[in-house]
Amino acid sequence: MAESRLQRWARKKAEAGKPAEPVPPQTNDPEPSPEEQELALNEALPEQEVLAKYNLPDPDTLELGADITGFMRKEIPELLRRKALRALWKTNPVLAVLDGLNDYDEDYTDAALATKTVNTLYKVGQGMFDKNTRREEQGDTQIEPRASSPNVIPPAPKQAPPVSADNEPAPETPVIPSAESYPAEPAISEPREEWEPRYRPRMRFES
């Protein structure tokens, strides 16, 4: 007999009310790689034995130009690797002596090293904009209209003393320039027409 809709709903509800069975933990751990196994053994050994085992120099005696690629192997403990890198930083003047031009050698994610907001006079579309200078310019422009206001009466112009009839100067006679004072104009030569012989048609008589 087929299961009805109500029976199926009751069965689903009963299954949902049952507690879920715990999933057994996986016991199949991945097998460590040979490098990891060797690293676990080297971490238990003294440093001198690890150096002799891989024929590595003492990190404290490294000089400029020494090869530290052997310390980068996965089997080498982290302590020896850090000592080799520290010796490289000390012996290399490019890394040890900072010239102050390294812009990205600091951790700017640290809030202690983060600088405050930088204030600038530069305004987009206006260039270097100084509020104090602009106020001084506005003050000068306000002073100039006051100096030229209509309330200020300008001083009257000085008048020439009157001339009496006795002291009246004689009228000056106009000077007529002579023809010699004018510069001579260059003579304009008219272009000559070249004579061209006229064509005279010849008369022909037919016999």
53 lies in some domain: yes
pLDDT score of 113: 60
Report the alpha-carbon distance of residue 63 to residue 67 in Å, rounded: 9
pLDDT digits (tens, 9 = 90+) for 146-162: 555 555 565 666 666 65
59 lies in some domain: yes
pLDDT score of 80: 94
82 lies in some domain: yes
79 lies in some domain: yes
147 lies in some domain: no
pLDDT score of 46: 92
- Work out the burial of residue 76: count CB atoms within 10 Å of its CB; fewer than 13 is exposed, 13-18 middle, 19 or more buried: buried
65 lies in some domain: yes
Q: What is the pTM of this model?
A: 0.37
156 lies in some domain: no
* Total domain count, the chain: 1
Please check whether residue 106 is in contact with residue 113, taking contact to mean a CB–CB distance below 8 angstroms. Answer: yes
| CA-to-CA dists, residue 29 to 25, 26, 32, 101, angstroms | 11, 7, 9, 50
Long-range contacts of 85-92 (CB under 8 A, 24+ apart): 86/59, 87/59, 87/60, 87/62, 88/62, 91/62, 91/63, 91/64, 91/65, 91/66, 92/64
pLDDT score of 81: 94
92 lies in some domain: yes
Domain limits at 73?
34-96
pLDDT score of 56: 93
- Work out the burial of residue 12: count CB atoms within 10 Å of its CB; fewer than 13 is exposed, 13-18 middle, 19 or more buried: exposed
pLDDT score of 54: 93
Q: Which residues of the chain have pLDDT under 50?
A: none
